[in-house]
Amino acid sequence: MSAQGAAHIKAICKAAGNDPARLMDIAIAVQKQLGAVSDTAIDLIATHLKIPRVDVDSLVTFYAFFSKTPKGRVIIRLCNDVVDQMNGAAEVAAALETELGIRFGETSPDGAISLEYAPCIGLSDQAPAALINDVPVTHLDSGKARHLAQLLKREGTQARLVKTFGDGNNAHDLIRSMVVNNIRETGPVILAPYTSGSGLKKALALSPAEVIRDIKTSRLRGRGGAGFPTGMKWDFTRQAGGDQRFIICNADEGEPGTFKDRVLMTECPDLIFEGMTIAGYAVGAAEGIFYLRAEYAYLEKFLTAILTQRRKAGQLGQTICGKAGFHFDIRLQMGAGAYVCGEETALISSCEGRRGDPKNRPPFPAQKGYKGCPTSVNNAETLCCVARILECGPGWFAAMGTKGSAGTKLLSISGDCARPGVYEVPFGVKVSDLLKKVGADHTAAIQVGGPSGRMIGPKEFNRIICYDDLSTGGSFILFNKGRNVVDIARQFMDFFVEESCGYCTPCRVGNVLLRNKLVEILAGHGALEDLAYLEELGRTTKLASRCGLGQTSPNPVLSTLENFRPAYEALFKKSRGHEPVLANFDLQAALSQGSILAGRASSIFTPVNGSQP
Amino acid sequence: MAAKPKVATASLAGCFGCHMSILDIDERILDLIELIDFDKSPIDDLKEFTGRCAIGLIEGGCCNEENVRNLIEFRKHCDLLISVGECAICGGIPALRNTLPLQECFDEAYKHGPTVYNPSGQYPNDPDLPLILNKVYPCHEVVKIDYHLQGCPPSADTIWAALTALLTGKPVQLPYELIKYD
Amino acid sequence: MSETFDFTLDGATVTAQSGETIMQAADRAGIYIPRLCAHKELHPFGACRICTVLVNGRPQSSCTQPAAPGIVVENDTEALRNVRKSLVEMLFVEGNHYCMFCEKSGLCELQALGYRFGLLAPRYPYQFPKREMDASHPDIFVDRNRCVQCARCVRASRELDHKTVFEFSGRGAHKAIAVNADARLADTDVNGTDRAIDVCPVGCLLRKRYGFRTPIGQRKYDHQPIGSDIEAGHPPAAVNG
């Protein structure tokens, strides 16, 4: 490493106070500055922070956005999730490869451009999409991809890539992105006009206990998917011992088909930060952490500016809004590409500058969270509701929605429909009514709640969106007749294999085995027994996994088996030849390499009827 | 006297150690001969099946196409097929190559290995040589296997216990000490 | 004297001391809950999930889950036995386990769990991953083919040896044990006598020149299933004091 590189690392570490808890920020800065966090860089960081090098190595190798070997100055990350695939990501990928002369996973010989896939970048409503370093490009096709590649080759930077900006704050000077909000339906709670400070002022007129009481009265439940009552979570956090408490906002939506937090951060950052501040007041925290996933780095400057603005307005910092003794501030914590960090204890690990491994529970974060202190982790959408509840009153909020599910819900709609985007709907909407709203006329299947949710068929389209019936974090991916649900399940399993942290056996191994079996079945090497195999393996993985990732990752397999069994059965071949060889054994594939090395075909096994045996 | 049930045996990609262990039942082989006839087997050097067999014992995994053909024949001719030993069950020592691409294995074996003298640089490739598979497969990943006798090799006691149970129509219930993977 | 309370384990009443995990209380009661990553001298980790029990119907790892008054715990049920056996099978197919030439054979806890569960062949296909070995250290072998990711070495190095020789790198299926050096164990401050080496349940970390010292037939699991000591009323010492 050059002396200059070493000096950069020293400066980066120093700027972070040589604090091991800031290791994420340090590694992010080094990756950005030097294009890699090399082994030498790892040594230097470890020396400056006075921690074992293996701890740095452990973090760097965990997150997808870090690389030990140099990447191109421009990294193209094409999203290859299900929706992007449906919208032609393969053609875009081919165009990029052809134009750049490199394959995915490679860097051009001059070190200018790297080509990679990203599992989810939060733009399923404008797919196919890619990130060019931090800059999102949307609605790609092969023609646009060629132009993009030519421009990047010519200019070597993404700086002049975006010429027209999206709606709303996407055109803000600090964002200047082509991303569009796609807000299709606003509601009375979240996507409604809001005067900054109005909820906070009302909260500060109450005691913290009264704020918690109001949140309880409003019957607000967590919007991330699990639906835990927010007031109760705050109460636990407040009542836990110790003199330091923390609020963490989880905006780490990393599940393909989910993008509502992107819109919230773009259009309602004040509402989120205000909700965090109210939460801080209620539980007695002095610090809040806003976790921003690496894929949304293009929003960092904007969000930072909003925080500065709030500090100037006296809404953050010391003696907030003149309330004696209430001090609270928020820092942004950047992520680095790890879906599992959406799990609240993994999120805390990441904020602490560690691998995004989930923690053992108990203790729960409300007892022992960030740095061992009581911590309330709340979804960004939940915190938006908080600010509005304080502004307009718990009764106003509780009157909306259904009996067990108060308020409204943001839905991220993508896939086969005329109007993908974000919808704010009151709880209680029927799925079939939603389909009409979004312009989906030929829907055969819906993945509800993202890959970790369930795939439902028409017989469930009369279900109601609420915690007591069809409970969801809000993602609906729509599939028309003709889509291959088994292949969709396989793609979701690819995602989980990629994103499992690997801590526990069932998730680390079970997901790989599930995925591999789907690949076999899709290749025509499945048999009826495989369905029982998948069911048992899926159930074991769910039951034994340590965190929510493995406890839900088999859902695409299990729910498609439940609701779309004929799609699997259609893939089984009646006669295979070479009986009694098992269907799963791919004899021709097993012979392929040996055949090439010998330069001759098998004289024992000839392909049956020209097909694979 | 009714015909005795037949037992066939084969060593696929194995070392014949499991066959040695079959013979290691010592004087009990006399009892065994009372119970069964050997059909196709290296023990009696019978090359082809003479008829339907009650039990087939398979040593070794599938490393080449000949192994697969042999295994298919056994599955077709035997009522019960038993994987005997680690190689049949998990590939065993031959499967050490499974983590390497086949070409690398060939290069090491026939070109670059320290004891190799091969000026032509060609791989052995007589048309009679069976094609090698991309990896070594456990038998139960190729055809249905009814029982597994673990061990490298399974002890003579294990083999004896399993055979006598099966031949007398009892379930194979091996005591703790007869299930060993080494 | 700490406070005690009762809970139900497979229908039996078990008395626990406050602060105990379900596994600790079960051990003292002579009830064995199968386990792999748990180790009596190390903080619980909850990675292998073999000790999964149902607590009031909810699955929990008994090595990390505190016992609580009145809870109803299911342990030795057919469904859980099957789950545990599945997990052991997953570990067998995930790595490259060649018992026939492994020095740990007969003393290996993964193998012993296979024996205890009567595992004859895994229901899952072998993965045959490519894993790194490291023989650089004069006294210690690292054979990651056999690693089961239990983190015992990670924990023992920190908690017992007061070093940081081992940690995980990578994630998901690429997760592996890394050493506190550029690449080689020889470049760390590990010592042949470190407890981190002893606690490896499998043959991933081995002392050189110690192999096969115990004759076949006299090894720990040759005659008695793993867990027999607990079932005989000789539980391991309390975990973490």
Domain boundaries, chain B: 6-96+134-178
Query: Can you tell me whether residue A588 is helix, strand or coil?
Result: helix
The distance from CA B85 to its chain's CA centroid, rounded to whole angstroms, is: 8
Among chain B residues, the shortest Cα distance to C96 is held by: B96
Identify whether the C-beta of residue A389 lies closer than 8 Å to the C-beta of residue A369.
no
For residue A207, the tally of other CB atoms under 10 A from its CB is 12
Alpha-carbon distances of A324 from A315, A321, C116, rounded to whole Å:
13, 9, 65
Residue type, A247: I
Per-residue pLDDT, A607 = 67
The phi-psi region of residue A258 (left if phi > 0; otherwise alpha if psi is between -120 and 50; otherwise beta) is beta
Is there a contact between A383 and A211 (Cβ–Cβ < 8 Å)? Answer: no
Contact B141 A598 (CB under 8 A): no
Q: What is the pLDDT of residue A226?
A: 83
Residues in contact with B113: Cβ distance below 8 Å, sequence separation at least 6, in sequence order:
none
From residue A46, alpha-carbon distances to A19, A27, A293, A363, C162 in Å are 11, 11, 24, 30, 18
Range A584-595 average pLDDT? 95
Residues A182-236 have pLDDT tens digits of: 999 999 999 999 999 999 999 999 999 999 999 999 999 999 878 999 999 999 9
Q: Give the integer Cα–Cα distance in Å for C34 and A12.
A: 47
d(CA A276, CA A282): 10
Query: How far, in Å, CA of A45 to CA of A509, rounded?
Result: 33
CA-based nearest distance A605→chain B, Å: 8
Q: Which residues in A lie closer than 8 A to residue C49 (C-beta atoms)?
A: 504-506, 544-546
For chain B positions 9-48, those within 8 Å of chain A (CB to CB) are none
- Cα dihedral C207, C208, C210, C212 in deg (nearest 10): 110
Residue B99, CA distances (Å) to B104, C96, C143 in order: 10, 9, 14
Which of A581, A588, A592, A600 would you mutate first to test chain B, the one with the most B CBs within 10 A? A581
Dist CA C65 CA A138 (whole Å): 46
Q: Are A199 and A278 in contact, with CB atoms under 8 Å apart?
A: yes
Residue A426, CB half-sphere, CA atoms under 13 Å: how many? Answer: 12
Supply the pLDDT for residue A579.
Answer: 84
Cβ neighbours of A584 in B, within 8 Å: 141
Q: Residue A192: its pLDDT value, please?
A: 95
Q: Which residues of A fall below an 8 Å CB-CB distance to B?
A: 578, 580-582, 584-585, 587, 589-595, 597-600, 602-605
The burial of A69, by beta-carbon neighbours within 10 Å (0-12 exposed, 13-18 middle, 19 or more buried), is given as exposed
Residues 72-91 of C with CB under 8 A from B: none
Q: What is the pLDDT of residue A577?
A: 72
CB contact under 8 A, A604 and B65: yes
* Interchain contact C131–B (C-beta under 8 A): yes
In chain B, residues with a C-beta closer than 8 Å to the C-beta of A607 are none
pLDDT averaged over every residue in chain A: 95
Domains of chain A: 3-60 (no CATH), 74-163 (3.40.30.10), 184-398 (3.40.50.11540), 408-480 (3.10.20.600), 485-569 (1.20.1440.230), 576-613 (no CATH)
Residues of B in contact with C131 (CB under 8 A): 99
* pLDDT band for position A428 (cuts 50, 70, 90): very high
Q: Token pair of A482, please?
A: 């003709």
Average pLDDT over residues C188-216: 95
Could you give the CA distance from residue A390 to residue A407 in angstroms, rounded to a whole number?
Answer: 13
What pLDDT, on a 0 to 100 scale, did the predictor assign at position C238? 46
How much is the pLDDT for A372?
Answer: 96
Return the number of other C-beta atoms located less than 10 Å from residue A482's C-beta. Answer: 8
Q: Which of B106, B131, B137 sits opposite A602 (nearest CB)?
A: B131
Q: Do C174 and A508 touch (CB under 8 A)?
A: no
**Are B145 and C121 an interchain contact pair (Cβ–Cβ within 8 Å)?**
yes
Query: How many CB atoms are closer than 10 A to CB B89?
Result: 26
What one-character DSSP code corresponds to residue A320?
G
Q: What is the ipTM of this complex?
A: 0.96
Give the residue from chain A lying closest to C54, CA to CA.
A543
Q: Which pLDDT score is estimated for A341?
A: 94
Mean pLDDT across C158-162: 98
Q: Is the dihedral of CA A121, A122, A128, A129 positive or negative?
A: negative
DSSP state, residue A611: B
Residue of chain A minimizing CA distance to C49: A544
Query: Nearest by CB to A505, which of C65, C90, C165?
Result: C90
The CATH classification of domain B6-96+134-178, taken from the options 3.40.190.10, 3.30.1490.20, 3.40.50.700, 3.40.718.10? 3.40.50.700
- Tokens matching residue A583: 């269907």
Bridge partners, B120 (sequence order): none
The neighbour count for residue A15, using CB atoms within 10 Å, is: 12
Separation CA A244–CA A443 (nearest Å): 50
Question: Which positions in chain C touch A61 (Cβ < 8 Å)?
Answer: 169-171, 178
pLDDT at A613 over 70: no
Q: Is C98 on the interface with B (CB under 8 A)?
A: yes
- Rounded mean pLDDT, A76-104: 97
Token pair listed for B18: 């499991």
pLDDT tens for A333-388 read: 999 999 999 999 999 999 999 999 999 999 999 999 999 999 999 999 999 999 99
Name the more confident of C239 and A71.
A71
- Report CB contact under 8 Å: B99, C128: yes
Q: What are phi and psi of A499, to 5 degrees?
A: -100, -10
Cα–Cα distance measured from residue C90 to residue C113, given in angstroms and rounded to the nearest whole number:
12
Average pLDDT over residues A399-424: 96
Distance between CA atoms of residues C80 and C49, nearest Å: 11
Considering the domain C84-210, what is its CATH architecture? 2-Layer Sandwich (3.30)
- C52 vs A61, A501, A544: nearest CB: A544
Q: What is the pLDDT of residue C235?
A: 63
Sheet architecture: strand order including C72-74: C12-17, C4-9, C72-74, C52-55, C58-61
DSSP, residue by residue, A487-556: HHHHHHHHHHHHH----SHIIIIIHHHHHHHHHHHHTT---THHHHHHHHHHHHHHHH-SSHHHHHTTHH
Chain A: give the shortest CA distance to residue C158, in Å. 11
State yes or no: cis peptide before A193, omega within 30 of 0: no
Interface test with B, best of C96, C97, C98, C117 (most B CBs within 10 A): C98
Q: What is the CATH number of domain C4-76?
A: 3.10.20.740
* B90/C121 Cβ within 8 A: yes
Cβ of B65 within 8 Å of Cβ of A589? The answer is no
Cβ-defined contact of C171 to A39 (cutoff 8 Å):
no
The per-residue pLDDT for C232 is 93
Confidence of residue A612 (pLDDT cuts 50, 70, 90): very low
Nearest CA in chain A to B70: A604
Using DSSP's 3-state secondary structure scheme, residue A122 falls into: coil
Whether pLDDT at A323 is above 60: yes
Nearest to A409, CA basis, from A194, A189, A250, A233? A189
A464 bridge partner residues: A430
pLDDT value at A610 more than 70: no
pLDDT band at C239 (very low <50, low <70, confident <90, very high): very low
Q: Do B181 and C114 touch (CB under 8 A)?
A: yes
DSSP string, A205-262: TS-HHHHHHHHHHHT-B-SSSS--BHHHHHHHHHHSSSS--EEEEE----STT--HHH
CB contact under 8 A, A580 and B75: yes
pLDDT at A241: 83
CATH 3.10.20.740 residue ranges for chain C = 4-76
Dist CA A401 CA A409 (whole Å): 9
Say yes or no for a CB contact (<8 Å) between B133 and A580.
no
Q: Which residues, listed in sequence order, are joined to residue A253 by a DSSP beta bridge?
A: none
Share of chain A above pLDDT 70, in %: 99
**Cα–Cα distances in angstroms (integers) from residue A374 to residues A235, A264, A406, in the given order:** 11, 26, 27
Residues of chain C with CATH 3.30.70.20: 84-210
pLDDT value of residue C69: 97
A154-181 as b/e, with b when 16 or more CB fall inside 10 Å? Answer: eeeebeebbeebbeebbebeebebbbbb
Rounded-to-integer distance, Cα A134 and Cα A159, Å: 10
Beta strands in chain C (DSSP E): 4-9, 12-17, 52-55, 58-61, 72-74, 133-134, 140-143, 166-169, 176-179, 205-207
Q: Name which of A568, A267, A222 is nearest A406 in CA terms.
A: A222
Q: How many residues does chain B have?
A: 182
A528 pLDDT above the threshold of 70 = yes
What pLDDT shows up at residue A611? Answer: 44
Lowest mean pLDDT among A184-188, B1-5, C88-92, C134-138: B1-5
| Cα radius of gyration (chain C) | 18
Identify the segments of chain B with pLDDT beneath 50.
none
Segment A518-533 shows an average pLDDT of 96
Instruction: Grade residue A606 by pLDDT with cuts at 50, 70 and 90.
Output: confident
